[in-house]
Amino acid sequence: MIRYYENIDISERNSFHVQQTAKRLVEFDRAEELPEVFAKYGTEDWYVISGGNNILFTKDIDSLLITPCDNRIEIISESDTTVRIKVGAGVEWDDLVAWSVERNLWGIENLSLIPGKAGAAPVQNIGAYGVEAKDTIRSVEMYFVEGGNFVTLAAEHCAFGYRESVFKHSLKGRVVITAIEIELSKVANPRLGYGDVIREVEARGGATLANIRDAICSIRRSKLPDTAVLGNAGSFFKNPIVEQEVAERLLAEYPDMPHYPAAEEGKVKLAAGWLIDKSGMKGYKEGNVGVHERQALVLVNLGGATGGEVIAFAHKVVATVKEKFGIEISPEVNVL
């Protein structure tokens, strides 16, 4: 079914809860309905808004907003060790994680409690606690708007990287993701190497799927604000990837600076949260916007902030980090 809305308030459709209006918004349940949507509104000016968890609206939106609502999870094939699953773009990501943990299937448990829908997972290759969506995604189904045809893209053509994919570059604004196919494992494969995970899992009695999920949920809840209480979009910034010599120069001055090998050789990933924290901005507030008190990567709407206020505040955070460390951090969130 297709549902049409006009001039609607979208404050409950974005996790920052900024109050803006959309001129036209369409929800659709099945991929096959998309041609009808584009026939009605044209193919020129549209934008997909899924769970609204990684987006900052800075103005009222004239473009057509399109929300995928297919929330089916289907097993499509099985071997002795793996299960392949098709997931509608509208499935709440964490419902999928809960579904997999209940069925004793390994692969996405470390991605527990990441807000958002399954269709958005490949776009920024969501990741947490040493695992990324690309580790299990095998293909992505989409509607190619210019051509008016449906395409299935194998994972190796999705150009997945750290918070990156082809959907942020050459396919940006050209496709509507309608489903993903993921492969989960029947064989235990606990990944506990990141931060506090092992300690929290051991405190719960060992590396079962349920314990890992519970541990990750509890770590996330302790650091990340609940969007229902305090509007936010998770990590507002990406962790910057810098040249080795830049990292070495900073490490000489700040030996305790967190740093991780980047996928690209000769480069190092730094922690934006640490950089913001050490710039003295953690907990800093201005008007209706602030840096979260427990995780400096997260900007929060303290109540009634507009998108414009959030972006102005973000620029200030970027400038402060630049001044202190000479590094330019950039938003992970899509700014519209």
- Enumerate binding residues for ligand EPU (CB under 6 A): 128-129, 194-195, 224, 234-235, 238-239, 258, 271, 273-274, 277, 282, 295-297, 332
What one-character DSSP code corresponds to residue 10? Answer: -
Question: Toward ligand EPU, which CB reaches closer, 67 or 295?
Answer: 295
Q: How far is the CB of 258 from ligand EPU (least distance, A)?
A: 4
**Which residues fall within 8 angstroms of residue 333, CB to CB, at 6 or more apart?**
54, 55, 56, 233, 236
Cα-to-chain-centroid distance, residue 241: 18
Residues designated as active site: 163, 235, 332
**Which residues fall within 8 angstroms of residue 144, CB to CB, at 6 or more apart?**
150, 151, 174, 175
**Which residues fall within 8 angstroms of residue 252, CB to CB, at 6 or more apart?**
none
CA distance 319 to 329: 9
Question: Toward ligand EPU, which CB reaches closer, 245 or 293?
Answer: 293
Q: How far is the CB of 238 from ligand EPU (least distance, A)?
A: 5
* Residue carrying structure tokens 């549902």: 3
Nearest residue relative to ligand EPU (C-beta):
234
Measured CA angle at 151 (ends 140, 170), to 5 deg: 75
Asked if 219 contacts 196 with a C-beta cutoff of 8 angstroms, the reply is yes
Q: How far is the CB of 47 from ligand EPU (least distance, A)?
A: 20
Q: How far is the CB of 95 from ligand EPU (least distance, A)?
A: 18
Q: How far is the CB of 240 from ligand EPU (least distance, A)?
A: 10
Question: Toward ligand EPU, which CB reaches closer, 37 or 121?
Answer: 121
Strand order in the sheet with 285-286: 231-235, 298-301, 289-291, 285-286
* Sign, CA torsion 118/45/163/77: positive
Cα-to-chain-centroid distance, residue 46: 20
Question: Toward ligand EPU, which CB reaches closer, 206 or 258?
Answer: 258
Collapsed DSSP state (helix, strand, coil) of residue 236:
coil
Measured CA angle at 49 (ends 45, 53), to 5 deg: 145
Closest CA to 306 of 51, 58, 62: 58
Question: Toward ligand EPU, which CB reaches closer, 37 or 111?
Answer: 111
Question: Toward ligand EPU, which CB reaches closer, 209 or 291?
Answer: 291
Q: How far is the CB of 320 from ligand EPU (least distance, A)?
A: 14
Amino acid identity of residue 228, one-letter, is A
Q: What radius of gyration, in Å, describes the C-alpha atoms of the chain?
A: 20
